[in-house]
Chains A and B, each alone.
Chain A
Amino acid sequence: MILRLLPLALFVGVGFFLYRGLSLDPTELPSPLIGKPAPEFVAAPLEREPSDASAEAVKTALGEDGFDSAGMRGEPWLLNVWASWCGPCIEEHPQLVAFARASDVPVVGLNYKDDPADAKAWLVRHGDPFATVLSDAKGAVGLDYGVYGVPETFLIGPDGTVRWKHVGPMDESVLRDDLLPLVATMVGGEGL
C-alpha cells in the first residue's frame, strides 16, 4: 500500500520544488556584500561641483583627486549604477528622481562603462537626480561591487557598510516597500 503511494508522494514532493522554482529569478543574485564594508574607491566625477547644494557629505567626499567614497561616512547614501546605453535605466529613472526629491539621502550615480558626453546628454534628456555622477569607464569600481548588470542600486549606511542591494530597475513597489522603510530606520539614528 505504501509502495503504491510512493510515486504520488515523489511527484508531489518534486512538484512542490518545481512550483517554487517558477517564482525564483536566477538573474537576481543575493549580494555577498550585504553587511560588509562597502569597497572604498576614488573616481572622477562628471562635473566638478555637486549638483545638489544640500549634500554635505558629497561635498566632503569630492576632493582634489576626485570623489573618495570614504568621505561619505556619517550619512547613508545611495549608489546607483547606470549607463546611457541601458534601456531599463530609463524605466527606473523617474523613481530615482522621485526618491531624490522625497528624501535627504544623496543619490550618487556610477556611470558604468559609458562615455561621459553620452552620459551628460542622457541626464539632460531624462532628468538628473544625482548629487554627483562618477565615471567608471572601465568598470573597475563595478567589479569591486559585484556589478554584473545595469541598473543596480546599493544603499550604504552611515558606518560605510552595504545595507541593501537591488538588481535591475527599481519600480514604485521596491521604493515604497523596501528602500524607503530601510532609509527611515537609518535616518532615525539607529544606523549610526
Chain B
Amino acid sequence: MTPRKHRCLRTFLLAATLARGLHAFPGMPGGIVADASAAENVVAFERDADRVRYERLLHDYRCLKCQNQSLADSGASLAADLRVQIHDRVVEGDDDAAIDDYLVSRYGDFVRYRPRFAEKTAVLWLGPFALLAIGLGAGFVMARRGTRTDAAAHAAVSAAGPSERGRLEEARRLLGGTGAVDVPTVAGAAPRGPPADALP
C-alpha cells in the first residue's frame, strides 16, 4: 500500500471509531429501540389516538429499576405501576407536558429516556459530534502534511534523469516510502548516503 493510501486508511479508521460512539447514546440515530414489549400490556382504550399516544409515551420514559430499558420494555413491577399511571392519565386527557411533569417531579430528569436538550445536557448531546470533528480535523491535517512531503518527493524524482530516476525509485522502494527522500535536483549527481536534512 502506498504511503498516501496508508494514511488515508488510518484517518478513516480513526473517524469510524469516533463515529461508533454515536451509537452509545440513547435516542441517537442507529440507537437500539425495541419494538416488542417484554411485558404483557393488556390495557383498554376507548380511542385509538389514546392508545397510540400511550405506546409512544411508554418509549419516552425510563424504568428506574432496569435503567437501560424504557417503560415499554421493562418487566419490573415499578415499570408496571408507571404504565398504569400513564394509562390513567392518558385516558383522563392529560397532555404530554402534564404527564412529563408528573414523572419528573417524582423521579427526576433521569426518568426521561431521551435527555432533554438544555444547557446541562449540551455536553452530552454535542460531545460526540465535537470529538468527531476534532478527530476528522486532526486526521485531515496529518494526511495533508503527508501529501505535501509526498509531492515534494515525486517532484524531485521526475526532475532527475532516467538513470537517476531508476535509482531513486529503487531507493524509495527500499526505504518503504515512509520518509521523504531529499534528493538534489541537479541531474546526474548521485546522492551519497542519507542527507543530513532528510528527516520529515
Which chain A residues have a beta carbon within 8 Å of chain B's beta carbons? Answer: 3, 6-7, 10, 26-27, 29-33, 113, 139, 143-146, 148-149
Contacts and interface: CB of A to CB of B under 8 A. Distances in A.
Interface string B75-110: 001100110010000000000000000001111111
A6 B138 contact: yes
A107 B34 CA distance: 43
A29 B110 contact: yes
A70 to B, nearest CB: 19
A143 B107 CA distance: 9
A147 to B, nearest CB: 8
Given A3-B141, A113-B77, A29 B108 contact: yes
Contact of A10 (B67, B78, B108, B134): B134
Q: Determine the main DSSP class of A at the interface with B.
A: loop
Contact of B67 (A26, A31, A33, A145): A26
Contact of A144 (B67, B106, B138): B106
A27 B67 contact: yes
Could you say which interface size class chain B belongs to?
Answer: 20 to 34
A143 B134 contact: no
Contact of B78 (A30, A33, A145, A148): A148
Given A6-B134, A10-B134, A32 B104 contact: yes
B110 A7 contact: no
A153 to B, nearest CB: 17
A143 B85 contact: yes
Query: Which of A6, A7, A29, A148: most chain B CB closer than 10 A?
Result: A148
A146 B106 contact: yes
Contacts of A146: 106-108
A30 B108 contact: yes
Nearest to B104: A32
Nearest to A139: B81
A32 B85 contact: no
Given A10-B131, A148-B65, A148-B78, 5 more contacts: A6-B138, A26-B67, A29-B64, A29-B110, A146-B107
B151 interface: no
A149 B105 contact: no
Contacts of A139: 77-78, 81
Contacts of B110: 29
B85 A3 contact: no
Query: Which of B77, B107, B131: most chain A CB closer than 10 A?
Result: B107
In the A-B complex, the 7 residue pairs with the closest CB atoms: A148-B64, A146-B106, A32-B108, A146-B107, A148-B78, A29-B110, A6-B138
27 contacts: A3-B138, A3-B142, A6-B134, A6-B138, A7-B138, A10-B131, A10-B134, A26-B67, A27-B67, A29-B64, A29-B108, A29-B110, A31-B108, A32-B104, A32-B107, A32-B108, A32-B109, A33-B106, A139-B77, A143-B82, A143-B85, A143-B106, A144-B106, A146-B106, A146-B108, A148-B78, A149-B65
